[in-house]
Amino acid sequence: MKKVLVNQVGFLCNAPKKAVLNFQANEFSVVDGNGKKAFDGKVEHFGTDEISGEDTNVADFSALTEEGKYKIVADGQESVLFTISNDAYDKLMKDICKCFYYLRCGDALSKEFAGEYYHKPCHMTKATVYGEEVEPVDVTGGWHDAGDYGRYSTAGAVAVAHLLYGVRFFKGLLDVHYDIPKVAGDKGNLPEILAEVKVELDFLMKMQRENGSVWHKVTTFNHAPFLMPEDDREELFLFSVSSLATADIAAVFALAYTVYKDYDAEYADKLMQKSLLAYKWLLDNPDELLFFNPDGSNTGQYDEAEDISNRFWAACALYEATSDGKYYSDAQELKNRLEEFDKYAQKKGYQGNVFTCLGWAEVAGLGSLSLLLKREENALCSLARNSFVAEADRLVKVSKENGFGLCMGANDFIWGSNMELLKYMMILSTAIRIDNKPEYKLALEAGLDYILGCNSMDISYVTGNGEKAFKNPHLRPTAVDDIEEPWPGLVSGGPNSGLHDERAQTLRGKGLPPMKCYIDHVDCYSLNEITIYWNSPLVFALSGILE
């Protein structure tokens, strides 16, 4: 089918702007809401690429900078209506931030702020410590991870990290105003994004044992069927501690300390103490303690191959927060070990630069972000800068291999492919601050265009944003709440050529290119689930674009 694919939300006035046609044409025009022509241009033929499998043709209208509502017309085909305006992304930004509020667990939602998406308090019972004869523990609060009701320490830490690094790099995020209630312990001066993040930080504090180690997750033994969160009343379990979770918490609490100290010194000190306690446990327990589900349990495993990147992140974050040289030495030693491990991983087909990996499994890039913030002239800070620039250069190269200008290769279309892209966009938006190459900006914008509809599915992967936004996330409350539309601002996992669920398997054998391995169906947990850490990198990247 002939299609004019475009970012369905729109563009900032001075941003690069393009649409992609999956058919050949000589010319295109941009017309406003009244059908009046606003711009004429020539279509540039690109050709077929391996990610979309389409004959792509590019219509560049960057020169059109006047605010308004427009659509693209070419050869009788029309795009959806989109906006050009400097506030084109205001609603999107509010929506993707407010998602975390709707995902809150415990006694946290109110009808006033959640409206029709309100649900009763959930998961309020104490959790049993799996395999131990100890008192059950109160770990209420935080955010549900995803379409399921699990709460996982590493996933939570990474989502918080994306948001807090976003705040550190791009101050504008502190000025995003949207409706959420005051949170416990807020002295009345927390910007919305920090109030929301505090909800998860408070929960993560409860996940830490007295000895500093951190439980990997709290979930029911198996995933709940499709029901509202308050109806999920199975016993909650705290599964074993892992060095992965402990290191991520040491890191993210140190990072949080650097942000919250400007608002609430007492809370910041508490974060720092807990970070140090976790770090001490790591030093006392140098052997990796990875995580695997006990037999018969099927909730998220979030397994990782090593804990070196997690320990590296913790050392970097503590160095950034305290300037204490001992963390620098630790980070240096871990860097060497990580390089060794990486040589082995690269042999196994792993791609990209390990010092730019931004979670949930590989987190050394989060350590690099702390080093970038430190802005020192030393070996590790240089490594961070060089790694981000080298990776951004690689991404630019990849983006030239397809008509979408998209910095993704066929290998990137895995489970949660949109996060792969969003992490790349985090790298690009950070690299711009080191070396402001125009190519970085082009690749970054193309990434946003892709997420918002300029893709061969012709779908915006953010609910409620774009005329053809996806509507059927694999998300328990949405699936059963009898409300027509899901709440806005949810980011879909996106195409996954691995087709890891039963309904996705119906695409098998159709010879689909990676970009088309997607169905907007509630059953498709491997293509269309949502998670906190698929929303969070978009918050970071969009903040970068708006800066």
Q: Decide which of ligand 9MR, Zn ion, none touches 253; Cβ closer than 5 to 8 Å per partner kind.
A: none
Burial 104-137 (b: 16+ CB within 10 A, else e): bbbebbeeebbeebebeebbeeebbbbeeeeeeb
For the sheet containing 236-238, what is the strand order? 128-129, 236-238, 217-220, 151-152
330 binds, among Zn ion, ligand 9MR, none (CB under 5 to 8 A by kind): none
Minimal distance, residue 148 CB to ligand 9MR, in Å: 5
Q: Are 509 and 540 in contact (CB under 8 A)?
A: no
CB of 498 to ligand 9MR, least distance (A): 8
Q: Which is nearer to ligand 9MR, 15 or 146 (CB)?
A: 146
Helices (H), 363-411: 364-374, 379-399
Q: Which is nearer to ligand 9MR, 104 or 385 (CB)?
A: 104
- Give residue number: closest CB to ligand 9MR: 300
* Closest distance to ligand 9MR from the beta carbon of 145 (Å): 5
* Contact call for residues 244 and 290 (beta carbons, < 8 A): yes
Beta bridge partners of 84: 11, 68
CA distance to 195, 256, 540, per residue, from 192 (Å): 5, 15, 15
Helix pair angle (265-284, 192-206), 10° resolution: 40
Residue 531: contacted member of ligand 9MR, Zn ion, none (CB under 5 to 8 Å, by partner type): ligand 9MR
Nearest alpha carbon to residue 9 among 535, 539, 465, 489: 465
Q: Tell me the closest approach of the beta carbon of residue 228 to Zn ion, in angstroms.
A: 10
CB closer to Zn ion out of 38 and 479: 479
**With helix as H, strand as E and coil as C, how does 504-529 read?**
HHHHCCCCCCHHHCCCCCCCCCCCCE
Catalytic-role residue among 196, 232, 330, 529: 529
> Of 148 and 362, which has the nearer Cβ to ligand 9MR?
148
Nearer of residues 335 and 476 to Zn ion, judged by Cβ: 476
Residue in 186, 234, 520, 523 annotated catalytic: 520
| 53 and 513 Cβ atoms separated by less than 8 Å | yes
Candidates 478, 475, 496; CA nearest to 486 is: 478
Give 403 or 473: the residue with its C-beta nearer to ligand 9MR. Answer: 473
Point out the catalytic residue in the list 445, 449, 474, 501.
474
* Minimal distance, residue 524 CB to ligand 9MR, in Å: 10
119 classed as catalytic:
no
CB of 23 to ligand 9MR, least distance (A): 34
CB 57, CB 20: distance < 8 Å: yes
Select 223 or 385, whichever has its Cβ closest to ligand 9MR. Answer: 223
**Which of Zn ion, ligand 9MR, none sits in contact with 146, Cβ below 5 to 8 A by type?**
ligand 9MR
Angstrom distances, CA of residue 427 to CA of 19, 316, 360, 395, 397: 24, 18, 15, 9, 14
Instruction: Return d(Cα 174, Cα 190) in angstroms, integer.
Output: 9
Least gap, CB of 231 to Zn ion (angstroms): 11
148 contact, one of Zn ion, ligand 9MR, none, CB 5-8 Å limit per kind: ligand 9MR
Work out the burial of residue 360: count CB atoms within 10 Å of its CB; fewer than 13 is exposed, 13-18 middle, 19 or more buried: buried
Pick between residue 225 and residue 511 the one whose CB is nearest to Zn ion. 225
CB nearer ligand 9MR, residue 150 or residue 409: 150
Looking from the CA of 508 toward its CB, the CA atoms found within 13 Å total: 9
Determine the residue with CB nearest Zn ion: 105
Per-residue buried b or exposed e for 236-260, using 16+ beta carbons within 10 Å of the residue's own CB:
bbbbbbbbbbbbbbbbbbbbbbbbb
Active site residue 529: yes
Interacting residues toward Zn ion by CB under 5 A: 105, 122-123, 229
State the CB neighbour count (10 A cutoff) for residue 271.
25
What does 163 interact with, of ligand 9MR, Zn ion, none (CB < 5 to 8 A by kind)?
none
CA distance 85 to 118: 33
Q: How far is the CB of 137 from Zn ion (least distance, A)?
A: 16
* Residue 105 partner contact from Zn ion, ligand 9MR, none using kind-dependent CB cut-offs of 5 to 8 Å: Zn ion
Residue 82 φ/ψ, nearest 5 degrees: -135, 175
Binding residues for ligand 9MR (CB under 6 A): 145-148, 150, 300, 302, 415-416, 525, 529, 531
**Residue partners of 429: CB distance under 8 A and separation at least 6:** 169, 444, 540, 541, 543, 544, 545, 547
Instruction: Write down the least CB distance from residue 531 to Zn ion, Å.
Output: 15
Nearest Cα residue to 544 out of 97, 26, 167 = 167
Picked from ligand 9MR, Zn ion, none, the partner binding residue 415 (CB below 5 to 8 A depending on kind) is ligand 9MR
**123 contact, one of ligand 9MR, Zn ion, none, CB 5-8 Å limit per kind:** Zn ion
Question: Is residue 444 a contact partner of residue 396, using CB atoms and an 8 Å limit?
Answer: no
Known catalytic residues?
A: 474, 520, 529
